[in-house]
């Protein structure tokens, strides 16, 4: 602990937590505690860890969490309800095989028990085992903002920067959570957005493509869930066709038209 001139005021060591690596520290909103986030080495199998200290640097609580292999807890925030939001990246092999993705864990401040855990792929489908690296976070007006970079499936093969906007419960309830979906189009004229439409039937989406360029050979339709995962994919062979959705659970989806590097997105609801 230091004063505003950088002079050391107090020092405390916690030797009972071997190989605990701290990467972030925040003062709680009521200014009564320090919130510490990090992970326990080795990185290949490490659990994530959160420590709570009082203002005298005395340990109040400590807990570890298993969120997948190779993970790193990067940031800790506090939401409007007093819950802690533990943010980092890790590998949930059931969802994403060997690829790391951003995670947000909501933690009860009383006892540090896990309340929820969400994984996100803010830069889209990953390739070549690229990871989502978290570099910043903040909570403002009930929105959790997370900034980072990661590998993205596109024509450039770059690792693009991204900003992820979530609710301060650590969840994504709209497609606006994903910057690569917000614009609605990539490399297409704006008027093309008016030349296609999607209607919802009882067992399928009904797609109409008014412009001939939209159903040329090589065009493709893809359906993604709000976690950015592809759930349906089919080539476009006509100006009007259906996308059956009986195998999908109810909810909001993103339907993407794609032709080479050109893309357009429309939200669609599966009742």
Strand partners, 200: 205
- Its pTM stands at 0.61
Indicate whether 90 pLDDT > 60.
Answer: yes
Weakest-pLDDT range from 12-16, 95-99, 105-109, 197-201: 95-99
| CA–CA separation, 242 and 204 (whole Å) | 6
Q: How confident is the model at residue 77 (pLDDT cuts 50, 70, 90)?
A: very high
The residues near 27 (Cβ < 8 Å, ≥ 6 apart) are: 33, 34, 35
Q: How far apart are the first and last CA of the chain?
A: 55
> Residue 8 burial by CB count (10 A; 0-12/13-18/19+): exposed, middle or buried?
exposed
Q: How confident is the model at residue 174 (pLDDT cuts 50, 70, 90)?
A: low
Structure token pair of residue 190: 């704006």
How confident is the model over 7-24, as pLDDT tens digits?
A: 777 777 776 666 777 888
């Amino acid at each position: 602990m230091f004063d505003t001139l950088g002079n050391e005021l107090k020092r405390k060591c916690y030797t009972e937590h071997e190989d605990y690596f701290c990467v972030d520290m925040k003062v709680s909103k009521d200014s009564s505690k320090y919130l510490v986030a990090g992970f326990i080495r080795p990185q290949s199998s490490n659990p994530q860890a959160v420590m709570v200290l009082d203002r005298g640097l005395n340990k109040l609580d400590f807990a570890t969490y298993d969120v997948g292999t190779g993970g790193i807890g990067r940031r800790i925030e506090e939401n409007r309800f007093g819950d802690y939001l533990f943010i980092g990246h890790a590998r949930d092999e059931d969802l994403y095989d060997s690829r790391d993705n951003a995670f947000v864990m909501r933690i009860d401040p009383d006892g540090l028990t896990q309340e929820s855990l969400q994984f996100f792929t803010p830069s889209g489908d990953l390739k070549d085992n690229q990871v989502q690296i978290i570099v910043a976070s903040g909570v403002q007006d009930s929105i959790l903002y997370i900034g980072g970079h990661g590998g993205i499936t596109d024509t450039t093969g770059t690792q693009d920067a991204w900003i992820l906007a979530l609710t301060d419960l650590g969840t994504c309830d709209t497609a606006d959570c994903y910057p690569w979906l917000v614009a609605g189009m990539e490399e297409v004229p704006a008027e093309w957005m008016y030349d296609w439409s999607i209607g919802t039937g009882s067992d399928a989406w009904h797609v109409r493509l008014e412009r001939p360029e939209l159903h040329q050979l090589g065009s493709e339709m893809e359906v993604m869930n709000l976690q950015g995962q592809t759930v349906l994919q089919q080539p476009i062979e006509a100006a009007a066709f259906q996308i059956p959705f009986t195998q999908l659970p109810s909810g909001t989806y993103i339907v993407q038209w794609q032709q080479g590097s050109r893309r357009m997105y429309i939200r669609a609801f599966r009742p």
